[in-house]
Amino acid sequence: MHLSVLVLIAVGLAMDAFAVALAVGASLRNVSFRQFFRLGFHFGLFQAVMPVLGWFAGRGALGYIAAWDHWIVFGLLSLIGLKAIIEAMKKDHEAPSTTPTDPTRGLSLVALSTATSIDALAVGFSFSMLEVQVWYPSVVIGVITAALTTLGTWLGSRTRARYGRAVEIAGGVILIGIGVKVLADHLLF
């Protein structure tokens, strides 16, 4: 597989991660190096591992996953998006010392990483059908996703500093919108 084709595939797969990273960056007050690293590393890692899993999965397992993946993505992104909107709306009523949830930690990080990388399973399955070795493409996909995620987090944090709570709410709406888009794409097309 030619490198230019592989880069286009990687960028295409990373667009959901980039959009989610924008929303996460907008939801955080001061993004630390650790938060940049955790989000970029985990999104990149999950995006690199999923094609490998898809490559090994075979037709039977992929058929089952494909029947439910859009519902899983929709559910995870909608829940996280609703949580972001609710937290942004509550900020007027909370004491200033209340610490918001950090989406770059714990189950939120795992849920976001999984939701943004499920499509890579199908890419890995396609690689196996085309008899393309999966190891090199997976590394390229992971590195590009990590870079775009870090960029998205930075851009989101810069936007939040200017526009505040409205951007946090918009970030939650974007997450829900991505979930709805994935669901609609699978159900309608």
The pLDDT of residue 67 is 73
CA angle 59, 13, 60 (to 5 degrees): 10
Stated pTM of the model = 0.73
pLDDT in tens, 103-148: 888 888 998 899 888 878 878 877 876 778 899 999 999 999 999 9
Burial class of residue 66 (count of CB atoms within 10 Å of its CB; 0-12, 13-18, 19+) = middle
CA 29, 181, 13, 57 dihedral sign is: positive
Segment (H or E) for 96: none
Q: What are the phi and psi torsion angles at 125 (to 5°)?
A: -65, -40
The pLDDT of residue 148 is 94
Q: Using the predicted structure, report yes or no on whether residue 178 has a pLDDT greater than 70.
A: yes
Q: Using the predicted structure, report yes or no on whether residue 68 has a pLDDT greater than 70.
A: yes
